[in-house]
Structure formats: structure tokens, C-alpha cells
Amino acid sequence: MFNRNKNIPAPPPTPEAAPGDPVFHHAIAVASGKGGVGKSTVAVNLAVALAQRGARVGLLDADIYGPNIPTMMGLETLPPARDNKITPAEAYGVKVISIGFLVKPGQPLIWRGPMLHSAIRQFVQDVNWGEIDYLIVDLPPGTGDASLSVAQTLPLTGGVIVTLPQQVSLDDARRGLEMFRELEVPLFGVVENMSYLELPDGSRMDIFGGGGGERLAREAGIPFIGAVPMDPSVRQGGDSGKPVVISHPESPVAKALSAIADDVLAKINASFQQNEAIPINIRG
Ligand SMILES: Nc1ncnc2c1ncn2[C@@H]1O[C@H](COP(=O)(O)OP(=O)(O)O)[C@@H](O)[C@H]1O
Ligand SMILES: [Mg+2]
């Protein structure tokens, strides 16, 4: 488990980037207090929406215990390696890396700390990412070692917390917020997923309660990024490898997810002039 009292060691001096090394301009982590709240769904649709806007986007599935990103992106295998480096898979204009490409479905994933750390480092460093404007990182749920490894491997521009509206999810999400604070990762804000279900008569049903995400954001003093409604096409799209921003771009849920991408872009652009974006050097 992530030790909240542990001081994060200062990164060693950054080595000069060698030719062929990946270049990341921004890395954005998507986290949640627990699984099943739609973290990967938000990560996938955020990545695809950013690619739809013309950005060079990478999607790093760091959820090493539940690597769902390949399925959600309709990908099965990695292309052959080149120059001793892993070639990322690609779908919908997004380059994708996941441990899910390297293990058989159903195979249990047991990681020791150092193994986990070196796997995450390899996925950043030993991959032919090329130049990436936005690397979206799907963190495992909770506050474990993988998140620490990601934050130690590459500086994160910001973090997004995904929660459901109900109290138990909020309690967990609060721990996720604290984790980003400990890791000194700026928080872009809170996304509330499965906020409501739109009924055929147009009325809204709050399945998991209402307004929890906004309350969490307010209490934590960070922005509320947006609410994403429930829609069966999200689940269908996830299972069939076609993210809802591609399969049903005009649906309210796709529009909500696209608006989240615009909001994150605006927050990045507010802090960095796009041309000045300092490429992220991988930490040693
Ligand atoms: N807004 C939504 N409406 C309907 N189903 C959703 C929504 N968000 C996520 N899901 C579904 O809920 C399940 C869990 O989502 P997922 O993104 O895998 O969560 P996590 O990564 O947090 O474990 C998936 O089957 C997904 O398709
Ligand atoms: Mg997931």
C-alpha cells in the first residue's frame, strides 16, 4: 500500500533525452478510490476525445491488476517490437500500452514492488511512443504502489479523480485526492460518473444519489469537472472496443465525456502556453 507518511524521494537528475527516447508534453493521471466507478471509461474516452481534437495522444494502462484498456479500445495484440523497443498498439488515433497485451486473459497478476516499478518504467521508457502531447494514465483503483511508481517515473501534469455520487464512493475518492496531494500532483478536479439515468419521459433518476461529486470537489477546494450520465451504450462500447465518443458521438453521455476533455485541455492551456509546453523528461 501507498504509505502516506513516506516522503517521496526527490527524483535523481534527469538524464539528457537520447534520440529515439519518447517525449511527453503532458501526462494526466485518472484515478479513483475504488474499482468499478468508470475510471477506465473516463480514461479511454478522454484519450480518444483528445485525439479527435488533433492531439498526439498516448494511453498508458497502469492498472496492472485489472488491465481493461485493450478490450475497451478494441485491441488484442501489440505490433512487433522495433529497435529493442515495444511498439504501442494504436486505435482511434491513440497509442496504447497495457500489461493486458502481455498476459493471457484470466491469468492472475501478482506483482512484487520492484517488479511493478520496473514494469511501469518500461512502459514509459522502453516504448516507441514518439512525441506525445497528452499521455493519459489509467491508474489502478486505490492508493497503491503503482500510482507511486507512475509519479516517480514521469512528472504528472495533473490528476483527475473519478467517483460515483454516493457516500461510500466519495469516502474512497477522498483518499485518492490525498494520494495526489502526497505525490505533489496538481489536481484538475473531480468527475462524477453514473450521475443519473435519463428516463424515456426525459426525467432524471439519481440511482446513486446526487451531487456527491460536486460536494467532494467543494470540500477539497478543487474544481468539479463534470457529471457523466449512465447510458447502456457506454457499457456496450466498452465491451465491444468502441468508445462511446466514437460510437454515439451525439449522445448526452458522449457529449459529457467530450466536455471533460475540453475542460482538461483548457486547464492545461491555462497553465502552459501550448508552444512553451516543456517536454517531460522521464525520471531515472
Ligand atoms: N456512465 C456509464 N454508463 C453506463 N455504464 C458505465 C458508465 N461508466 C462506466 N460504465 C460501465 O461500468 C463498468 C465499470 O467501468 P470501468 O470504466 O471499467 O470502471 P473502473 O475502471 O473504475 O473499474 C464497465 O462495464 C463500464 O462500461
Ligand atoms: Mg478500470
pLDDT tens-digit map of 140-191: 988 788 888 999 899 999 999 999 998 888 888 888 899 899 989 999 999 9
Q: Looking at ligand 1, which residue's alpha carbon is closest to its atom 27?
A: 235
Residue 50 CA to residue 75 CA, distance in Å, equals 19
Ligand 1 center from residue 268 Cα (angstroms)? 26
pLDDT band at 279; cut points 50, 70, 90: low
Cα of 208 vs centre of ligand 1, distance in Å, is: 14
Higher pLDDT, 155 or 5: 155
What pLDDT does residue 86 have?
Answer: 94
Q: Match 457529449 to its residue by C-alpha cell.
A: 255
**Residue 138: beta bridge partners?**
30, 61
Least confident of 13-22, 176-185, 192-201: 13-22
Amino acid letter for position 246: I
CB 31 within 8 A of CB 176: yes
pLDDT band at 5 (very low <50, low <70, confident <90, very high): very low
Measured CA to CA, the distance from residue 128 to residue 125 in angstroms comes to: 8
Domains in the chain (CATH in brackets) are: 30-276 (3.40.50.300)
Is residue 28 classed as helix, strand or coil in its secondary structure? strand
Contact 140, 36 (CB under 8 A): no
**pTM (2 d.p.):** 0.90
User: For 101-148, how does the pLDDT look when each residue is reduced to its tens digit (9 = 90+)?
Assistant: 988 777 777 777 788 889 999 999 999 999 999 999 999 988 788 888
Residues with CB under 6 A from ligand 1: 32, 35-41, 68, 193-194, 228, 230-231, 234-235, 238, 253
Atom of ligand 1 nearest to the CA of 34: 22
The pLDDT value recorded for residue 79 is 96
Distance 277 CA to ligand 2 centre (A): 29
State percent of the chain over pLDDT 70.
Answer: 90
Confidence class for position 72, pLDDT limits 50, 70, 90: very high
Give, using CA atoms, the residue closest to atom 17 of ligand 1: 38
